[in-house]
Amino acid sequence: MAFLVIDIGNTRLKWGLYERGQPDAPLLAHGAVPLEDIDHLWETDWSRLPQRPVAMLGCVVAGEAIKRRVEEQLLQGWGLRPHWMSATAFGGGVINGYEHPQRLGADRWAAIIGARQHALRVSPENPPPVLAVMVGTAVTVDSVDASGRFLGGLILPGFGLMYRALESGTAGLKVPTGEVRDFPTNTSDALMSGGTDAIAGAIERTMRRLRVACGRDPLLIMSGGAVSRLSHVEELPALVVENLIFEGLLTLAGNASKNEA
């Protein structure tokens, strides 16, 4: 009863094969490919999987053309009918407080649900508020209160977008990758430290707001392909979760199975 989850982001497709469609299921295999390589996904990855998935659930932000190219491989390879989730007013134990719930990105919604599940594991009877941070092409910083209500969140450029904006908008900033320093003394370190402090500062400010709003310390959870660039920041005592979006997708899949039963 293997279950496939797919996260099609802005630059990469990430996938995971789990023993079943439940949040506590063992991971059997996983991988990631750049979007420009997805036409070969069946040949390079999926045709070699140890088990054939019987169902799947995914989220997409990359657009319809990319989604169709993935669907073709699912259907031709396994005859697997694709299911793609979108944000709803309620799901996975979270109330969606977005002004227009359906306009919330599917990947953000899945990550928020995954983060809420971690808060429930910390204390099922009295879960803490949680801040879900995804660090990728863009960075999202989303707040969930102790009752499971999504309060809202931030979207800001990721490290790569910041660097490219500076390179294109200024002269002489095409330099090697630097290090994070308290007081940078070269341009490479200044760029790396500036990007890190900008993102870390947004997270710290939101942590303070959430603490005031809820009257208690929130649980900070971070995930995403570039999370390693933030996980060392001492001011951000975070739980780093490798596959937060997958956990949200598995939660939704598990809830759907219970409702069908």
Q: Are 137 and 9 in contact (CB under 8 A)?
A: yes
Give the CA distances from residue 123 to residues 128, 184, 188, 244, 261, in Å, rounded to whole numbers and listed in that order.
Answer: 7, 41, 43, 18, 27
pLDDT at 257: 67
Residue 71, pLDDT > 70, answer: yes
User: CA 137, CA 131: separation in Å to the nearest integer?
Assistant: 19
- CA-only gyration radius of the chain, Å: 19
Mean pLDDT of 174-191: 87
Residue 258, pLDDT > 80, answer: no
Question: Sheet harboring 3-8: ordered strands across?
Answer: 27-34, 12-18, 3-8, 55-60
User: Tokens standing for 186?
Assistant: 């070269």
Which residue is associated with the tokens 């982001």? 9
Supply the pTM of this predicted model. 0.94
Mean pLDDT of 205-229: 96
Q: Which residue has the higher pLDDT, 212 or 226?
A: 212
pLDDT, the chain, mean? 93
User: CA 146, CA 210: separation in Å to the nearest integer?
Assistant: 10
E-assigned strand segments in 97-179: 130-135, 138-144, 149-157
Q: Running DSSP on this structure, what letter comes out for residue 3?
A: E
Which residue is associated with the tokens 């309620």? 90
Give the CA distances from residue 67 to residues 6, 55, 73, in Å, rounded to whole numbers and listed in that order.
Answer: 11, 17, 10
Q: Using pLDDT thresholds of 50, 70 and 90, give the confidence band for residue 171.
A: low
Q: pLDDT, tens digit, for every residue of 115-165?
A: 999 999 999 999 999 999 999 999 999 999 999 999 999 999 999 899 888
Q: Using pLDDT thresholds of 50, 70 and 90, give the confidence band for residue 216.
A: very high
Mean pLDDT of 47-69: 94
Active site amino acids: 107
Give the CA distances from residue 224 to residues 7, 81, 194, 227, 245, in Å, rounded to whole numbers and listed in that order.
Answer: 11, 27, 20, 5, 9
Q: Which residue has the higher pLDDT, 177 or 53?
A: 53
